Structures are given as structure tokens and as C-alpha cells.
Structure 1
């Protein structure tokens, strides 16, 4: 018997990479093989030396095609089998391995906006809907737009076996969120990329476009983020490591290092308004959605748990955000508690 394997990869488009995919027919006794593609058409090669290599790293059932068909996430390699410069997964992998004993876990809250033509779903032609207020976690046709797409996407993610932990309507009409995790750094990033692919693929069937823009509508509307929740074993067992992690994220040079890799257009979203801290200032606080990093109120009560970095954009590369947070926080925790 044969089956269809949808090879998915992250391209070299700048400043924000896109997802690409193509189908390969395989026999059921085949291992997932390396495959090639034209890198000159994806921003990953010049035409005179255009071949690039797809190396499968994660696979799951294909919920759209069903049956024995698979979705196959791939890293992009050069023809000498070294990671391509666009391959941010290859930069995360050694960091995740270095600090694996600390058992870092991530949960990423992926916000996105559904567009029909040039307008978000729910925005009337030639005008604006009612101001923000009733849309967040709302119900009813006057508040909610695109639920059929969101529910179908959730079904697809669950059928694929992804670690989806929830969905909700967000603050602006046509804006939604799904959460992936808690999972290890590589797992959460791999699964978020697959969930994004499934989101685009699902919306495509409805003739709707998915935007991960950080500020999809200018003016008095919330932007779209990818709030990133993080913990280690020590943080899940005590409060001092939580404060250490928060302080490490604000250490000299670290805030700019992080926000510069937290997605395109971050200065348009992190303005100090709409539940954000200014992009060029670092702060942390308990239950404070106007801080760069929030310590949930229950964490302070329990004296253990996790932190939420509220700075990453919806268009952030999850391999980059998990690499930076793991490296910064785990190195600080290692110095502080394992010296």
C-alpha cells in the first residue's frame, strides 16, 4: 500500500519566514527519506546552485487527508548535509540538549487574525465594528466571527495528536488564539509550526486568509502576540528560581537581544498600551499584563510554577524564542543553584 507524506518546511522569506509544503507518495514499508527542493524559489538558494535538502524531523497523522497519510516537518539542509542558514531548529537543538537536565517546558499562546479580503472577519466594509470589549471569549453572531474555521482547526490538531491545550476568541473581531504545550523546547516549536500549517490549510478551505501580523489593524486595537510560558523543574518546585529567571531576562543586554528576535513589527505592538510593556523597557510583576514578563497570581500564592514572557509577536519563530529563553534562564539558574 502507498500513502501520501506532506513534507513541510520553513522557507527563507525575510523578514518573516513562510511555510512551504509538497506531497510525496511512499510505500508503507519505506522510512521517511531525505528529499530535495528548489531553494531558488523559496529564498534559500541561488539559481546556479539551487538544490536544498529536506530532512524529516517530526511526523504525525494527516487529519485533512486521513487514512495512513502523514504530515512531515523537515529541517532544511545544504547539499553537504550542513544546516542551511535559515534553519533555526538546528540552532535550538544544542541549547535544548545542554539544559535538558533542568527539564524546561514551554506553552505558547498563538494569536492570529482571520481576514476576508483586506478586512478582518467582523469588520464591516468602509468602517469599523464596535470598540473592543465584548469580543474576548465572547459568544453570539455579533461578537464572534470565524468560529467554524477555529473549531475545524482544533479538530485537525487533535486528530494529528498535537499538544493543543486550548482555544479562545481574542480581543479584536476575527482574532483568535490557540495554545500548544506544555512541551519541551523542540517539541513545542515543532508542533506549533505544524499547527500553524494546519491553520493556514484549514482557512484556505473557507477562502479565508490567516494573518500573524503583530499589529494587523492600526489604531485602538490589540496587536497579536505569542505569549510564551516557561518553567524548569526548579521553578515548578520553588519561588526563588522564578525570580532568578525573571531577573535573568532583564540582565544587561538581554532585553534587546530577545526582542530583536521576537518577531517583525514588535515596536508597533509593544507600545505600553493594549496590555503590553514598551518594547525598549523591561519589567516583571505579579498578575501584571502591562509588564514584559508576568508572574501569574497563583504562582505567587503557591510559591512555584511558571512565568509568561508577553513580548513575543504572533509572527515569532518558536525555535528562536525557545532557544533564547532556555539559554538565558537555564544558564542563570545553573549559576545560581548548581554552583
Structure 2
């Protein structure tokens, strides 16, 4: 097969021109297509196809792409490790690269590193060094080969976790013997919205106007219903390549909004996998020229928000008689509702209105198969008498380290007073 530069799908032009004289006006007007050579009148090559490369500005269009796709594995044992950490806002991701002398499989094989915390809002300029501790390793779907993505958390030079390091506290909770013995499982449903880069308006929406009302877009198919599928599919495959425990994807209710699910993951791994999946999604949207937002209410009005529903179960919940354990967990969660809401994401009050498949932010509720409750229990869990619960309160921009560890703490380590428990049990009984 031979490669020729042809007009992209966005341009409709009828031209007749010889290849030797063809010069595109700009590189982004052209995309690559493949064609089979004619048997007659074409030059013979060992590959049986002839490559034609259109040129502009004295360079070929695909030169940079070739370098980006260059496989260095046959030539060196060295690899590139992309160190990834969470910035000062608690939701922004940062990363930088370093060369490692050989392939590695475990974060303990990697060196600690540092960065300028004054440039990420995490340290003062006069004492700006923040140290990165490698915590989880994933394969790099962008560079391929033995190259890796490294999820890190951040510490002061004295070895103290900085305030935005939420992983450290989560790891403490998950290492508690009582929590560890219950093998907490998490399935996290990460919703996100794709925006047009210049106008910050959802992908597929008319600029300055609205599409048709919600209804046909959820899991929809078609050019007038599905916007951004290629990004979702590219992300799905990249996560599988990286070793992320991604379990599915779907188009969401708001047009231009998508969801991916990660899990079941045990303990601290749930947070590591979500953060790495978010990083990969940021990189893919960066390459696509599309803006990613995790805002919990990207469009005001009669439109669904974006959540990060967190499914949770313990060993006791998954065994016979687990439904009673689930109800006890829900009781504890009701008593700590304000603590959870305060930690479940910035701007969540714009999403949790009691409309659009949410519960009101100020009221705790639970129900079977009810997506308008704070906590939903599935029909199958009720039928089997064991299973899991779904916390529908977390916003799309929540920190998974905080949410997963808080669920474990509230249901496995925290004990209410008998009086508070009795009052809560009565309220919840009336709520069902």
C-alpha cells in the first residue's frame, strides 16, 4: 500500500492535479489515505507499492509522526517514565518525563523525584521543592514499548505529605487491619463532558444555541446523537493497554457527555486507576484538540450534571446475610452525610438539586433501584440478599482517594452513638 495526502472529510473539493505538482495550502487541510497502486505504469518497489509524499515548506507532513511512533526498544534498554501527580487545585494533573536505565515493573524500582511546587500552587517560592514518591506503574499507551506512566504522591523534603496529598491518608485507612480484612471493592463511574476548544460549549452543540432536549443521547447512535465517540473508544483501548481495570463506557444523557467505569478495584488501587485513566483522557483530548471538563454542572438549566457514582461493597456485604450489613452501612452514611458532601467535589451543589436523577444535597435518602436517592441499592442485591451499594452523591470532579477511603472509614471504622443510631434507623425506615 502507498500513502498519499488527500483532502480531509471536512473539505469537499473536486480537483484534477498531478501528484508531482500538488502542494497543499496548509498541513491541516490534508489527511492520510491509503490506495493500492495500479499494476500498469507504476514503478516497481520491493513492497509492491509506491509511496508519494506531498511536501510543503521543504518538509514532509508525516516526519514528526514517524518520530513520535519510533520504537526505541531494539536500540536501548532505557525507558521513559512519565511521572504524574495532582496539582494544587486538587483536580489538575501534572506530569514530566525522565529516562530510566532499564524496564521496571514495580514502583519501588523507581527513584524519587522533585518538582517546583511554587509553580503548581503547592509550595512557596523560597522553599519550592516538592518530592514525588512513585506509587503505581502503568504501561504508557502513547509511547508504547517498555515506557511507563507513574502515579506519584507528593511530600515535603522532610518526608511529610503535603496538604494536597490525599493518597497518603487514604493508604492509612486501607491499611487498617479491620478495613484490610473486609477487602473493600469499588466500581467508579466517571462522567465527563467534551467541550469545543474556543467557545467552551459542548461538543456537537450548535455554537451559541442548544440541541434538541435530552432523551435520544443516552447510549445513542448516530451523527445527530453521539458526539465524541472516537475519543471515548480511543480512551477505552488506551486504558486496557495501560493495565487500568476499565470495565466499560457509554454515552451519557447530556449530549457531548460520556462515562467510563473502572473496577472492581480493591482499596487504594481504585484511586490510582481513576487518576491514571483521567490522565490518559486528558492526553487524548489534548491530541484531539477538544477540551475535557469534570465540572459537575457544565450547562445550567434543564440538563443533566456530571457525577462520579461510586459502587462499594465489603466482604461481609458480598456474603450471605450481606443485605443487613449494607443497611447498617447506609445508616452510618446517613449520619455522616454532611461530612461526605463536603468532600465529594467542588460545585456539587449545582448538581445535587433533586432533579436530573439526583437527590437534594441537603437530604439523605436511600432506595432500591431509585436513581433519585443518595444511595441506591440494586434489584439484584435486594433479591439475593447480598451485594453492593451505589453512592450517587460524588461529583465528577471528586478525588477518588477521598471518596473511597471515606466510604471505608464511615462504614467500617466509625461507630455512631446508640441514640443517634436509633433516631437514624427510624428516619431511614420511613424513607424507604
What is the TM-score of this pair, normalised by structure 1? 0.96
Q: Is there any run of 5+ residues in structure 2 with no aligned partner, and where?
A: 1-76, 419-432
Q: Give the alignment partner of residue 98 of structure 2, picking from 18, 24, 27.
A: 24
- Return closer, same or farther for 1:329/1:335 CA change in 2, 3 Å cut-off: farther
Map 1:64-75 to 2 at 5 A.
Answer: 64-75=142-153
8 Å CA contact retained: 2:103, 2:146: no
Residue 158 of structure 2, aligned match among 80, 91, 95: 80
Whether 2:250 is the aligned partner of 1:149: answer: no
Equivalent position to 1:243, from 327, 338, 346: 327
Paired residues, number: 332
Work out whether 1:11 is the aligned partner of 2:87. yes
Match of 2:205 in 1: 123
Q: CA deviation at 1:29?
A: 6.3
Show CA shifts across 1:25-62 (max 9, x none): 11106731000100000011000000010110001110
Instruction: Tell whether the 8 Å contact from 1:245 to 1:332 is kept in structure 2 after alignment.
Output: no
1:332: how far off?
5.6
* CA apart distance, 1:239: 1.1
Counterpart position of 2:252: 170
How far the C-alpha of 1:122 sits from its partner, in A, is: 1.5
Q: 2: distance between equivalents of 1:316 and 1:4?
A: 30
Decide which of 43, 47, 53 is 2:131's aligned counterpart: 53
Q: Residues of 2 paired with 1:29 and 1:320: CA distance?
A: 32
Deviation at 1:2, TM superposition (A): 1.0
Q: Does 1:180 align with 2:252?
A: no
Give the superposition deviation at 1:182: 0.7
- Could you give the per-residue CA deviations for residues 175-195 of structure 1, whole angstroms, max 9, x where no partner exists? 000001111120010010000
Relative to 1, partners in 2 of residues 1:266 and 1:55: Cα closer, same or farther, differing over 3 Å?
same
Superposed CA deviations along residues 219-263 of structure 1, whole A, max 9, x for unmatched, are 000000000000001101121101111111002xx1000000000
* Cα shift at 1:126: 1.9
d(CA) in 1 for partners of 2:182, 2:129: 39
Q: Distance in 1 between matches of 2:91 and 2:376?
A: 28
Aligned to 1:280: 362
The equivalences for 1:209-228 within 5 A come to 209-228=291-310
- Counterpart check, 1:304 vs 2:378: no
1:127-142 equivalences in 2 (<5 Å): 127-142=209-224
Determine whether 1:44 maps to 2:128: no
Contact 1:282 1:291 in 2 (8 A): yes
Q: How does 1:89-100 map to 2 (within 5 A)?
A: 89-98=167-176, 99-100=179-180
Distance 1:334 1:257, change over 3 A: closer
Aligned to 1:256: 338
Distance of 2:182 and 2:417 partners within structure 1: 12
Contact 2:318 / 2:387 at 8 angstroms: preserved in 1? yes
Q: Distance in 2 between matches of 1:50 and 1:334?
A: 42
SS at match of 2:125: coil
The 3-state SS of whatever aligns with 2:136 is: strand
2-side partners of 1:108 and 1:329: how far apart? Answer: 18
What residue is the counterpart of 2:430 in the other structure? none
**Would the aligned equivalents of 2:139 and 2:149 in 1 still touch at CA under 8 Å?**
yes
Between Structure 1 and Structure 2, whose CA radius of gyration is higher?
A: 2
Runs of 4+ in structure 1 over 6 Å off: 333-336
State the alpha-carbon separation in 1 of the partners of residues 91 and 379 from structure 2: 35
Deviation at 1:335, TM superposition (A): 11
